[in-house]
C-alpha cells in the first residue's frame, strides 16, 4: 500500500513538470522578415485582340488556320495600399532536428530576431524582404509547437510549422 501511495504521489508531482515549457539552447540558422504589399492605384487596360495563324501545306496547297484570342478590358482601380509583415526562421533544436518557425505581425511577441553579436550576422535583401544569417545560439522555451526565444530585443514567440 505504501508503494502504491508513493507511486501515485510521484506521478502527481511529476505531472506539472511534464506540462511545463522545456528550456533549451537552440541555433538560429536564418531569420527572414517578409513584407508583402498589395493594392494601390492601378491603371486600366483596354480590350486586346490577337490573331494567331498557322500555315499548313498539304499536297502542294497552302491553307491557313487562324484563331483570335480576346483579352478583356480591365477597369482602373484605386484600392487602398495594404502591407503584411510576417517572420520566419530556420532553427536547429538541441537534438539536431531542423524546424521552421513562423509568426505574423500583430501576434503576441512576434517580431524580428536580433543577434547579440551583430558583427557576425549577414543581411541579404530580396526586394522588401530581409534575411539574416549567422545569428547564433539563443535560449528558448518550448511548449508543444510554440517556441519563445529570448533575444536582445526581447521575447519572440513563434510557431513550429514543420522542418527544413
Between strands 129-143 and 22-42, the pairing is antiparallel
Kindly report, residue by residue over 112-157, the tens digit of the pLDDT. Answer: 999 888 899 999 999 999 999 999 999 999 999 999 999 998 999 9
Closest CA to 147 of 25, 15, 35, 14: 25
The label of the residue with cell 524582404 reads 129
On whether the CB atoms of residues 33 and 85 are closer than 8 A, the answer is yes
The label of the residue with cell 491557313 reads 64
Q: What is the mean pLDDT of the chain?
A: 87
Instruction: Phi first, then psi: give them for residue 53, nearest 5 degrees.
Output: -120, 145
What per-residue confidence (pLDDT) applies to 79?
86
78: which 3 cell numbers?
Answer: 484605386
Kindly report, residue by residue over 44-76, the tens digit of the pLDDT. Answer: 999 999 999 988 888 888 888 899 999 999 999
What per-residue confidence (pLDDT) applies to 81?
86
Closest CA to 94 of 2, 1, 12, 22: 22
What per-residue confidence (pLDDT) applies to 12?
43
Q: What is the pTM of this model?
A: 0.64
Amino acid at each position: 500500500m505504501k508503494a502504491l501511495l508513493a507511486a501515485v504521489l510521484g506521478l502527481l508531482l511529476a505531472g506539472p513538470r511534464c506540462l511545463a515549457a522545456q528550456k533549451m539552447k537552440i541555433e538560429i540558422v536564418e531569420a527572414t522578415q517578409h513584407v508583402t504589399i498589395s493594392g494601390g492605384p492601378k491603371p486600366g487596360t483596354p480590350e486586346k485582340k490577337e490573331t494567331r495563324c498557322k500555315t499548313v501545306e498539304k499536297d502542294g496547297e497552302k491553307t491557313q488556320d487562324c484563331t483570335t484570342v480576346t483579352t478583356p478590358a480591365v477597369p482602373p482601380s484605386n484600392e487602398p495600399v495594404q502591407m503584411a509583415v510576417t517572420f520566419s526562421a530556420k532553427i536547429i533544436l538541441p537534438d539536431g532536428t531542423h524546424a521552421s518557425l513562423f509568426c505574423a505581425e500583430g501576434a503576441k511577441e512576434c517580431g524580428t530576431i536580433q543577434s547579440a553579436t551583430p558583427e557576425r550576422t549577414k543581411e541579404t535583401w530580396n526586394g522588401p524582404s530581409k534575411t539574416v544569417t549567422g545569428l547564433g545560439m539563443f535560449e528558448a522555451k518550448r511548449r508543444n509547437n510554440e517556441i519563445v526565444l529570448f533575444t536582445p530585443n526581447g521575447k519572440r514567440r513563434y510557431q513550429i510549422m514543420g522542418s527544413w
